[in-house]
Structure 1
Amino acid sequence: MVGGAVAVTGADTALSRLVDPSRKWYNNKRLLALNGWIVLLLITSSTNGYDGSMMNGLQSLPQWTSYFNNPSGSRLGLLNAIQNIGSLAAYPFAPYVSDGIGRRGAVFLGACLMCAAVAIQTASQSVGMFIGARFLIGFGLGFASNAAPMLVSEVSYPTYRAPLTSLYNSLWYSGAIIAAWSTYGTFKLPSTWAWRIPSLLQGIPSILQVFLIWFVPESPRWLVSKGKDQQALRTLAYYHADGNEEDPLVQYEYEEIRAAIDFDRTVAANVGYKSFFITPGNRRRVRIIVAIAFFSQWSGNGLVSYYLNKVFDNIGITNPTTQLLINGILQIWNLFWAVLASFMVDKAGRRFLFLTAAGGALVWWVCQTICVALFAQHGSPDAAHAVIAFIFLFYAFYDLAFTPLIVSYTVEILPYSLRAKGFNIFNFTISLALIFNQYVNPVALDALKWKYYIVYCCWVAFEFVFLWLYVVETKNLTLEETAAIFDGTDATGHIAQAGVLEVSEVREDASEKGSNSAYSPRAEYKA
């Protein structure tokens, strides 16, 4: 699927030869600080994960269901879907905010909105107030979730970019774990604080971001796009080379960023949404981005993520304590596999992880379908227990790609000029898929029972075929090199002409200046 000079391995890329292998995040103070600020961005995803798991848990709390008059059917679907409807309302504005006031400004705006929304949600006195608060949470999340993963990808040290960006969506489960165990812990409280406390805890990531976001470095790519070249160079040098602006790695990154953005301005000047459909490379991007966004929500996981209590009810597990306990353990299991996969992306490769995830998910979903059918027909407790086991096995494979890779892969295949808008298309698609799931799943599950599982068996099989045909391998490439895979030699040729340093040139400069000079790639690398 990839041809020409662009299709190179990590060992052959220019950037990989400039990175000092002895410089690790744990032995360099500035890398340690950078990764600490990146964690502040990663927890944006925790807010989203918290929401899904909290709503799952609240449905098992008698204190919540009775307070809101036992919501079911379309009302229950609305309570779950309204957060994503709020995100949809923000998406028309999110990319312009991210590109206009910067990645940090967009995260700050989103965090402020979510803090206000959480306060309203916690103080809710009616179902309308609760729904309105959840809409505002989604609206704020629309801004923060557009900017945060892009900033992670654009400021990360090269060797850590892919794992850290993959961790973004993996930390969805960190929020889910806190929510699951919070609802489990408050289950026995006799008052409305059984659900108000979990509602209040949802604001923690946003509160941290409101107070700390301005300490996070701004994206060098955004700075260059706004004509702040020297500030971009200083940012790269400070975090990637201990302040040495003439370090070969920093010079390579800086020149590549400048050349790529110059290409976008001169050759690809049309950066509106129409540009996604006027070139073959952009059409390939949109096809992949829309597909993996739908796949991440339509692989059967939507049943368990938002309606686990209904799944358990259908297999005879109706005790709220048991449901909450299994939900809490499942989130820890999910986090383990998602984080493991995040650190495998540059070793195993994106294509391998996508295909393994889809293939394994299909196998275990089929097994789950068979056992749900057996329980429905014979009421076998063994079949019910097997369903639980297969849910865990299904998620072990699902989490290999559909949790860590969907965000990082989307961000890395988009050029800078289209990154905010392309990522907005991704988020918009996910919200549409979620809204559909959250409305349809409870209704379809009530109407079709176990037969509804067959729909997902067929769909996941289709996902595997699509991924086999269209997913392009991008491991160990820079953001600019990855974009060139889709745009061909025109982009790479322009970047080369614009002055991106070849590795041989950088090394010649370093050798001429001497090993102890500022040009030496190891001169300023100290623990």
Structure 2
Amino acid sequence: MLLVGFCCAFACLGALLFGYDSGIISSSIAQTDFVNRFGDGTLADNTAGGIVSSFTGGAIIGSLSLSFLSDRYGRRAAIFTGSLLACLGSALQGGAISVAMVIAGRVIAGLAVGQLSATVPNYCSEVAHPRFRALLAGLQQWNIGLGFVCAQWVGYGSSLVNGPFSWRFPLAFQALPASVLAAGVWFLPESPRYLAEKGESIKAHAVLKRLHTDQELVREEYTRIQDNLAAERQSRMGWMDMFRQASLRRRVLLACGIQLFTQTSGINVINYYGPRIYAFLNFGTTRSLLIIGIYGALAQVYNTICIAFIDRVGRRKLLIPSMIGMGAALCVNATLAHFYVDGNQRDHGRNENALRACVAMNFVFSVFYTSLGCLSWILCSEVFPTAIRAKGTSLSTFTNWSTNLIFAQCSPIALSRMGYRYFYIFMAFNWVAAAVVYFFYPETQGHTLESVNELFGDLKISHSAGSPQSDDTGGVYPRKASVEVCTEFLTPDSNTAAPQRAHDHKIEPA
């Protein structure tokens, strides 16, 4: 368990890069030297939107390239490539002499983060013990939060220094964790499921033995992996099958949906444009960055508590209250801002109580977002079969980043023209998302990655292989998979209805 935890924690440096690079830009573009150098005293809305959204555009491309790299060369190679790109992107941003150079660095950094954000949760899910899969996959969100905390406090500290250091150092600093990840990723074991899929059964079994001390678990996991891969090879699942087959199409919709909900929650609008939001509430830049730093530090505490309880409480029980709570917090925040602005216009003074309450609602929002933030990455890595897991997570991560791009480009203009009314839109999005989760999302708690196939009703595998004491291998593992495969379908409106058997057949892969 310690080795598995270390492997996941180290791989999640990629998630830390995600959080840092996403969070550092808000403080950097607010620095006086940055604004004077690239904006002649003011930074236009379209320039700010372009700098922020260029990162997201790169991430969209990076997430789509994940399937090719991860399926062909392995999870470690995809993480390594992302780390190198992150180093290059940070160098360009830190040394920028023009807006074009900043944008180029942001695009390359986005390519890196797009790859890493899709690869890391896959890797963690595929090496984790079934009982602790949500905990270890949840490290993705925990490290994203840690990256935001680092970005916010580095940005705040740098803002106390005048000159180009105030933005060059924060943008270049991300090269440090990227270099560590690039140097150390090859010391991590490769995903046993990837090795088994590529026919490296002996290596896959060796990795499982190295990761898990419970030999009974090793035998069970190895058998399940081989048996499910044998069934998946017969079905020959590819890109188009994700849209042709009803059960796979449902998985795509669920995975893309949960990633869509993270963006329509409003979290990244708050993270990217925090200083602008607080400026709207009449806070100065330094004070705004201090509040954002405290906000991020507390969010990390919430993340820690959340991942400790995910495997005990279940996915749905955390998601639905999360979305309802976020919508309520945004509703209260926007309403308070409405009365604060009106009161300011009438009384020509500051309503300090309303101002404090608006800030408090952002902290309440952060508490409720925690569950959605953690579970969005876990669910995407759980719902897909091994043969198309990289493709599926690539597509769902693409949804995340493409929606992110829309909000990143539109939010500066929306905040300028709509002000507090902009948050009513996200309030509605969150409440609609809660209803969608309630009616359409199944509970995946307690299922192995292989048994999720049966949960979705597309494939039920009867593992006919005996124990190593009773089968004809004489207890020698790894062995060739021989499995009775029963393809069964559930009724469309039930996850628990009794299935009808379509056909039985025996697979004995070479």
> Once the two structures are superposed, what CA deviation does each residue of 1:212-232 show, in whole Å capped at 9, x if it has no partner?
111100011110111110011
Provide the residue aligned with 2:366 in structure 1: 395
The partner residue of 2:319 within 330, 354, 357 is: 354
Query: Structure 1 residue 483: deviation in Å?
Result: 2.6
The separation in 2 between residues aligned to 1:238 and 1:345, in whole angstroms, is 26
The answer to whether structure 1 residue 302 and structure 2 residue 268 are counterparts is yes
Q: TM-score, normalised by structure 1?
A: 0.85
The separation in 1 between residues aligned to 2:23 and 2:65, in whole angstroms, is 27
The separation in 2 between residues aligned to 1:281 and 1:419, in whole angstroms, is 14
Q: How does 1:58-73 map to 2 (within 5 A)?
A: 58-69=28-39, 70-73=42-45
Partner of 2:96, secondary structure, is: coil
Provide the residue aligned with 1:157 in structure 2: 129
> Once the two structures are superposed, what CA deviation does each residue of 1:150-204 show, in whole Å capped at 9, x if it has no partner?
1111112333221010121221110111111111111122220111111121122
The partner residue of 1:193 within 127, 144, 165 is: 165
Letter paired with 1:397: F
Provide the residue aligned with 1:383 in structure 2: 354
The partner residue of 2:402 within 428, 432, 444 is: 432
Which shifted more, 140-149 or 126-135? 140-149
Query: Structure 1 residue 302: deviation in Å?
Result: 2.7
**Would you identify which runs of 4 or more consecutive aligned residues in structure 1 move more than 4 Å?**
none
Provide the residue aligned with 2:282 in structure 1: 316
Is the contact made by 1:38 and 1:216 (CA closer than 8 Å) also made in structure 2? no
Provide the residue aligned with 1:253 in structure 2: 221
Query: Structure 1 residue 35: deviation in Å?
Result: 1.7
Provide the residue aligned with 2:463 in structure 1: 496
Provide the residue aligned with 1:103 in structure 2: 75
Residues paired across the two proteins, number: 467
Query: Structure 1 residue 410: deviation in Å?
Result: 0.8
Letter paired with 1:256: R
Is the contact made by 2:9 and 2:139 (CA closer than 8 Å) also made in structure 1? no
The separation in 2 between residues aligned to 1:40 and 1:57, in whole angstroms, is 27
The answer to whether structure 1 residue 458 and structure 2 residue 408 are counterparts is no
Is the contact made by 1:376 and 1:450 (CA closer than 8 Å) also made in structure 2? no
Partner of 1:241, secondary structure, is: coil
Partner of 1:233, secondary structure, is: helix
Work out the percentage of aligned pairs sharing the same amino acid.
25
Provide the residue aligned with 1:332 in structure 2: 297
Provide the residue aligned with 2:258 in structure 1: 292
Provide the residue aligned with 1:169 in structure 2: 141
The separation in 2 between residues aligned to 1:33 and 1:474, in whole angstroms, is 25
- RCO (CA 8 Å, sep 6+): is it higher in 1 or 2? 1
Query: Structure 1 residue 518: deviation in Å?
Result: 11
CA root-mean-square deviation: 1.9
The separation in 2 between residues aligned to 1:409 and 1:92, in whole angstroms, is 19
Is the contact made by 2:131 and 2:311 (CA closer than 8 Å) also made in structure 1? no
Q: How does 1:21-420 map to 2 (within 5 A)?
A: 31-69=1-39, 70-241=42-213, 247-266=215-234, 268-271=235-238, 273-317=239-283, 319-379=284-344, 380-400=351-371, 402-420=372-390
Is the contact made by 1:358 and 1:397 (CA closer than 8 Å) also made in structure 2? yes
The answer to whether structure 1 residue 479 and structure 2 residue 453 are counterparts is no
Is the contact made by 2:414 and 2:422 (CA closer than 8 Å) also made in structure 1? yes
Letter paired with 1:303: V
Is the contact made by 2:83 and 2:179 (CA closer than 8 Å) also made in structure 1? yes
Provide the residue aligned with 1:12 in structure 2: none
Query: Structure 1 residue 116: deviation in Å?
Result: 1.5
Query: Structure 1 residue 463: deviation in Å?
Result: 1.1
Query: Structure 1 residue 509: deviation in Å?
Result: 6.3
Is the contact made by 1:365 and 1:394 (CA closer than 8 Å) also made in structure 2? yes
Is the contact made by 1:98 and 1:146 (CA closer than 8 Å) also made in structure 2? no
Letter paired with 1:440: C
Query: Structure 1 residue 140: deviation in Å?
Result: 2.0
Gaps (5+ residues) in structure 2?
345-350, 478-510
The separation in 2 between residues aligned to 1:411 and 1:295, in whole angstroms, is 16
Query: Structure 1 residue 291: deviation in Å?
Result: 1.4
The separation in 1 between residues aligned to 2:373 and 2:60, in whole angstroms, is 21
> Once the two structures are superposed, what CA deviation does each residue of 1:51-91 show, in whole Å capped at 9, x if it has no partner?
12111112332122222113221211110011111122233
Query: Structure 1 residue 433: deviation in Å?
Result: 1.0
Letter paired with 1:265: R
The separation in 1 between residues aligned to 2:232 and 2:54, in whole angstroms, is 37
Letter paired with 1:334: A
Letter paired with 2:236: A
Which shifted more, 85-94 or 49-58? 85-94
Query: Structure 1 residue 352: deviation in Å?
Result: 0.3
Is the contact made by 1:58 and 1:65 (CA closer than 8 Å) also made in structure 2? no
Partner of 2:237, secondary structure, is: coil
The separation in 1 between residues aligned to 2:86 and 2:426, in whole angstroms, is 33
